[in-house]
Amino acid sequence: MNCHSWKSSYTTTVLLVGSCCLGVLAVAAQQQQQSRSNSKLAGAFEFVLDFVRRKHSSHIDDDSATNGMQVLGAGFARSGTKSTEEALKILGHKVYDTRSMLEHSEHIPRWLRAAEDYKQHHNLTELESLLKDIEAEGYTATLDFPVNLFALPLAELRPNAKVLFTIRDNEEKWFESWSDITHLMGHLICRPWKWLIGNFDFPEQLLTILEDFPRTHSHYPEHIYRPLPWFEILHHPAIVDDPGQKERWIALHRDFQKRCQETLPPDRLLLFNVKQGWAPLLQFLGVDNAELRQHDFPNVNDRSSLQTVRWVMDVVAAGLPVWIALQSYLAYRIARCGVAMITSAATGFEKTKRA
């Protein structure tokens, strides 16, 4: 093989990879048919990369502001937490949520230990030390499941912090949305993501420790479809689909809300539906901002961007061997060409010597 043929096959490979990427983009643009589809796709790629790298890119890195924890989110995922996060950021907060837990993966075993200690002995030592570390990084608010499960012990540790319980119109509506998003993002526990990301079950572990929620397991082939050996689709997530799970989740939501209402004085707890807009939130947090009060409350519906994320992840996952093979092929051709060049140089040298 000479380097000319290598060059032409290199060009072929580049064209092949390029057209694959273009194909992906074209189909995505067609699928979305929305003006923001490109930024959404870029966001989706960023999310996937962030997830694999366990990095949270969307918060402001201002570690200097250490005011301590001020707002404790008690609401579950899909109760308007993303819009609320946006609102809290506008108010200058730095929000600690599930993605922050993944970013600081060393926190995860500490959350689990803190949950055990609190549940078994009402011992808050580990939780307090973790909270101090989180505060030292400038976080001033917590949000979303599973950090919400710690709202009451955290409120005990920070008597000046306020508890924000985001809710939907009713629990049925909330569960529908929660179940829907669990179906959409449940593939994270499937191949190949479970090989790449590792176990993503700490939210369920915390749920079991703190709320005695029974553990469920999604198995192949009952819950998981495996079209390719390296690519699985979770079509029936046990945690929301198993018999009795809907009732369990709704009972948990209701009971948790009741416990918060019974434990906290009214001025420390706000049941907040994002439909109510800025006014109740500003009043609750003691923020006097007449201008903001006139503005629309942030409306982040991440359902469609998560749909894009899922779609991108499926394309990457299903084609995994193709991506790996293309890379390997390219490396092989480059190596072959290098060897060929060295060999021909050596032969040329031999010839010159003999002559």
Q: Which helix (H) or strand (E) holds 257?
A: helix 245-263
Binding piece for ligand NAG, criterion CB under 6 A, among 75-83, 117-125, 197-205, 258-266: 117-125
Question: 228 forms bridges with which residues in the sheet?
Answer: 231
Query: In whole angstroms, how close is the CB of 120 to ligand NAG at the nearest point?
Result: 10
Q: Is 133 an interacting residue with respect to ligand NAG (CB under 6 A)?
A: no
Give how far Cα 140 sits from Cα of 39, 93, 188, 227, 298, Å. 29, 6, 29, 44, 19
Minimum separation from the CB atom of position 97 to ligand NAG (A): 24
Cβ-based nearer residue to ligand NAG, 121 or 351: 121
Nearest to 85 by CA among 288, 77, 179: 77
- Helices 278-285 and 81-90 cross at an angle (nearest 10°) of 60
What type of residue is 149? L
Taking the CA atoms of 113, 119, 122 and 128 in sequence, report the sign of the dihedral they define: positive
The residue among 47 and 150 lying less far from ligand NAG, judged by its C-beta, is 150
CB of 95 to ligand NAG, least distance (A): 26
Closest listed residue to residue 73, CA positions, set 6, 202, 165, 150: 165
Q: Does 132 help bind ligand NAG (rule: CB under 6 A)?
A: no
Q: How far is the CB of 127 from ligand NAG (least distance, A)?
A: 9
Interface with ligand NAG by CB under 6 A: which range of 26-34, 118-126, 217-225, 235-243?
118-126
φ/ψ (deg, to 5) at 65: -80, 105
Candidates 4, 121, 122, 351: give the one binding ligand NAG (CB under 6 A).
121
* Least spacing, CB of residue 159 vs ligand NAG, in Å: 20
Tokens of 128: 């307090």
**Piece in contact with ligand NAG (CB under 6 A), picked from 74-82, 123-131, 132-140, 231-239:** 123-131
Location of structure tokens 């809907």: 246
Given a contact cutoff of 8 angstroms between Cβ atoms, the answer to whether 56 and 102 are in contact is: yes
Closest CB 114 distance from ligand NAG, rounded Å: 8
| Per CB under 6 A, 126 contacts ligand NAG | yes
Of 117, 211, 242, 302, which one interacts with ligand NAG (CB under 6 A)?
A: 117
For ligand NAG, the binding residues (CB under 6 A) are 117, 121, 123, 125-126
